[in-house]
Amino acid sequence: MASAEQLLSEIRSQSLQQVLLLSLRQPPFKTGIPALDDHLSHNSPKCLRAGDVIHIQGPTGTGKSHLLYFLVTSCILPLSNLGRDLGGWGKVTFVLDMDGTFDVVRLKDILLDRLQTAGFAPTSTTTLIQKCLENVHIFRPSSTGQLAITLAYLPKYYLKHFPNASLGLVAIHSIDAFYWLDRFKAETLDISTSKVYQNVTSMLQIIRQRYGIISIITHWGLPQSAKVNHSNLPIPQSQFERIPRHLESLPITVQITLAPMLSISENRSITVQATVVSDRDDTRPTLLLVINKFGLLPE
């Protein structure tokens, strides 16, 4: 039978000082996706708050990577440049690419498209794009254990390489890349799969509390059932929108579910459009969102 101390240790807690530090830090600004920003602004006047953890899930091909690219560009772009409003946060991003598919060329293309949309000529963006890309550092752990070790090392790495810059975003791309290996390990050791991810969640919590960053976690998922609204866009049911059991210890504040595309669009503009649907019947303290239309289809 578990002791009282063991039971208490399993309950997440934060000191009042930690809560105050998170609330007083200047949060990153808007995501750059109007429908998502409008929805978030109903819960906070500044949209995303310092310390928010965003969980993005959806089946293959629904645009998880593309949405991540877009949010990374929002973080590394400056607020303005040469008098033009860019809507960026002007902060540093760390990406932990678990499946090795994070594409810097694609990220650069989205940066260029956003700058052109703001009125910059393609020939005048080279220096600004280079400066923005210098604020993105990518790590590629080869196991969930290495992911935890990398997260533990990030504060020292950040202080060494960015002593005068503000850290805004830490993204774990495809956190479930080694899920089946982790599950095999858990069964071999006769422990729950969530125990394998315990060090990951603990290290992410430390970074989140210390720097007040926005955290993004992408995760593969498949809706078990769907309903169709008046615009014929599928809305996944709560069976899909719940937090995966092995990730339940993460303090997720925003949950985004990506629905499959119903038809192939010929629009190749690198923009993100979103329709937001809230599940008001859910009792979890999270926002359940559905982003179901992209101008650029994932490849």
Work out the number of other CB atoms within 10 angstroms of the CB of residue 133.
14
pTM, 2 dp: 0.76
Question: What are the structural domains of the chain?
Answer: 51-294 (3.40.50.300)
Contacts for 234 with CB less than 8 Å, ≥ 6 apart:
223, 226, 227, 228, 259, 260, 262, 292
If you compute the radius of gyration of the chain from its CA atoms, what whole number of angstroms results? Answer: 19
| Per-position pLDDT tens, the chain of length 299 | 555 455 444 444 445 444 444 444 554 467 887 777 777 776 555 567 788 888 888 877 778 888 999 999 999 999 888 888 888 999 999 999 999 999 999 999 999 999 998 888 888 899 999 999 999 999 999 999 999 999 999 999 999 999 999 999 999 999 989 988 988 988 898 888 888 888 898 999 999 889 989 999 998 764 444 444 444 444 444 444 466 777 777 778 888 887 665 433 444 444 455 555 444 444 333 444 444 433 333 33
Angstrom distance (rounded) from CA 273 to CA 66: 12
The closest alpha carbon to 167, from 213, 134, 208, 203, belongs to 213
Residues ≥6 apart with Cβ < 8 Å to 135: 75, 76, 91, 92, 93, 162, 165
